[in-house]
Amino acid sequence: MAEDEHYFTADPQAPFKRVPVRANVWGHWLELTSGSGVFAQGRLDIGTGVLLREEAPPVNATTVLDLGCGYGVIGLAVAIAVPGCTVTAVDVNERAVLLANENAAQLGVADQFTAALPDQIDPDATYDEIWSNPPIRIGKDALHELLLRWLPRLAPEGRARLVVGKNLGSDSLAEWLTEQGFPTAKVHSAKGFRVLESRRG
C-alpha cells in the first residue's frame, strides 16, 4: 500500500523509517524528521506549502491547534514564529504524534508544542486559531465528522485556516462549513489549492 494511502491509520504497518525534511517557513529553517506511514514522507507537501506561503504567522494568537498535524510542520512553524503561542497538535496516527514531539524537542520548542492523539486532548480546551491541511481522502462523512469535532473549539473570535485542493471539493466544503454555522470564505488560491478561512458563526 502506498504511503499516502494509510497516513490516517492509527497504527501503520509499514516498517518505520525516519526520513529528514528541510523547509524554510516564514524565514526560519526547520530541520525535521518525517517517516514511513506518515503523510508527506520526506517532503513538504504542496498543500501545506501553499498554506504556509500564502498565510502570515498568527502573531496575535496565544493558542493554536494544528489539526491532522502529521510530523508537525505547521504547528512547529507557528511555535517558532510566534514565541508566545502554545500549540496543540493532533493526529490519529501514532507515528505522526511521535515524530511531531521529537521534532519539537529537536527544534527547542517542546515547552510550546505538544502533539497528542485526539482522545488525549483536553475536551474543554479552546483555540484562537486552527490550522489544517485536512485529510480529505478519508471521505466526506469522516471529514465532516472531524471538522465538526474540532471547529466548535474555536474561541468566540477565533478562526480556522484550511488548505484544500480545488479538485477535492474546496468550494463545496466552504459552502457546507458555512451551512454548519462556520462562515467560510476563500482567501487565497495557488497551485490548485484554496486556502479557506472559517470563523465562529
Q: Is the pLDDT of residue 64 over 70?
A: yes
Q: Judge contact between 88 and 55, C-beta under 8 A.
A: no
The confidence score (pLDDT) of residue 125 equals 97
pLDDT-based confidence at residue 3 (cuts at 50, 70, 90) = very low
The CA-CA-CA angle for residues 38, 174, 169, to 5°, reads: 55
Full-model pTM: 0.92
Domains plus CATH for the chain?
A: 18-199 (3.40.50.150)
pLDDT-based confidence at residue 71 (cuts at 50, 70, 90) = very high
The confidence score (pLDDT) of residue 1 equals 34
Q: Is the pLDDT of residue 74 over 80?
A: yes
Q: Is the pLDDT of residue 11 over 90?
A: no
Alpha-helical regions (H) of the chain: 46-54, 73-81, 94-107, 140-150, 170-179
Looking up cell 497516513 gives 7
Three-class secondary structure assignment of 1-31 = CCHHHCCCCCCCCCCCCEEEEEEEECCEEEE
Looking at residue 168, its amino acid is L
**Whole-angstrom Cα distance, residue 121 to residue 125?**
8
